[in-house]
Structure 1
Amino acid sequence: MIFRALKAATIMVVLAGGAGANPDFWKHEWPETDFSVTSVASWSEILSGGPAKDGIPALSDPQFIRAGEESRIGDREPVITVEIEGAAPRAYPLRYLTWHEIVNDTVGGMPIAVTFCPLCNSALTFDRRLGGRVLTLGVSGKLRNSDMVMYDRETQSWWQQALGRAIVGELTGAELALVPSWMEGWDQFRARNPEGLVMAEPAYNRRYGRNPYAGYDSSKRPFLYNGELPPHGIAALSRVVRVGDRAWPLQRLRETGVLREAGVEISWVAGQASALDSGNMAKGRDVGSIRVRDAQGRDLAHDVMFAFAFHAFWPEGRWMLGE
């Protein structure tokens, strides 16, 4: 299993307190990255996740088939849904993204990157346009607060996936615009979009549909994370719905169904399997699906991430506990 292999590959780094976490060690692999520019306070914050640069291969130019032609995906299997005006709705199955983490695509003329960090359960979609150019994102193999560090092939700058912000290199401080997307069960997407598109199986030798991180979201502590745990007695690997710098515990939403707070409406319905529970992704426990809309009913960009990751990247963020 990848999760076990990652543990074995990185245990010595952890024991050494981040040995090798410095630009001099990385420059042979990243000769075009400008390490003199960074927003990271200490290089020890960045650790190897195990795989080398592009060891987890991001996808570009993905192929699609009609939803009605897809027969391999289980009804509750999670997909990331992207609906852009003027284009057919698209579903990006986590059975593929768990193994590739980034899909560079163009939808309705908009270049986007659909991303998923399994260790943080963070699924975000970005507009790849920045300052008059289009970036192509890849997987660096590095982690910070257990979250994937991406990189762009144009400048070799490093990007924090949870933030959509460049943290090392020429583009440090730049941010990618978020594109509204959401995770839901395959049957939920298919029922709403019978003529929609779903990403076809990539031409890689991977065990698609298997979860290489079996049991991860039942762990007590996140992988390669040494930061503070969440406050209020919230379990580190419990899910929260993040909108901006606010986080709503998923359990609260599961109990109420719909919440209207802080100018947003958040709804929860059953029907989506956890991608990080059972070894067979289709059989993961039901964590439900979230939609976030504004007062006009428009979909809002959000994330359904683990509580520890929210606390790590938004330490002053607001916990929406309903007190």
Structure 2
Amino acid sequence: MIRNNRTLKLELWERFKHQCAYCGTKLYEPLMADVAHFFPKSKYPAFQEDTDNLLIACKACNMIKRDQFPLDDNGQPLLLNPVNEIFSKHIKQSKNGYLEGLTERGHATIEVLQLNRSSLIEQRILDIIDMQFADDRSLSEHDVYMTFKSSMLNAIKLNNAQLQIDGILQIQMTYMLYANVITSLETYLCDRFISLIQGSQASLRSFVENFKDYNQEKFSLSELFIKHEEIESKAIKSMKSVLYHDLPKVSGMYRDTFGIIFPIFSDVYKSVLIRHDLVHRAGKTKNGDFHQLNPESVKEVVKNCSDLVEQLENELKDCT
């Protein structure tokens, strides 16, 4: 019997690395995802509760696929199964973001799932641009730190300036500044981590050996050298995909990779939860009440985040 839907969805969301198994769209929260059946329930009821038939999909792909399930002349599925098949053997991506089928099954998968829909092509192009930018610019540890410091200074300046505006606008400005401080911290935690990995084989190896998402990675011996050449770029891509507001996970990454004591983050984590309400609930708590924030709240979150960064920088001195 399948576990309760919420637990199952979370497990699949983690297993597929917070991405749609079909199109690769990033699913930042489980609410953005559907539990999907590769073999449609309507045609293969015997597989309905088979966990090997379950995957995570974005709502668009799940709606597009529905119960479409073309078969070849031998009665075998034409669609590629994300659970146990490698798409790159059947599909390639062009430099303009389009997917091209290399095999009959690749063509069928692209057509049935509409993997060349405009929103996906646009995202692929943005990813290509982002990767080219990353390749051309190594992260400077000093720049990462100073960017965060500058963001905190600007937040304080704007916080002081907002005292001149009316009450309703002040509340909105406070919400925006509060959320931006947490976003700046997330950016720092991501960029600082990557800056320490780049150019350090020891740190890269430590990350790969300890990052739990890699525990299930399997490949043939013939792929060994290819995988080795791609390991740093793949690792950096994995680092960028981490949700850096998940401080328990992030603290474990820093601890396991660099052997440091991550600063106590309980006060900052409270602010992370508040930021979630500001962004996703228009400032309301789960109970429907608005968060009571003011300019002093912004000063407090700036101080707590700045203290965490300073303590982390002190711990990281021996890693640079």
Which of 1 and 2 has higher RCO (CA within 8 Å, sep 6+)? 1
Higher strand share: 1
TM-score by length of 1: 0.25
TM-score by length of 2: 0.25
Higher helix share: 2
Name which one, 1 or 2, has greater alpha-carbon Rg: 2
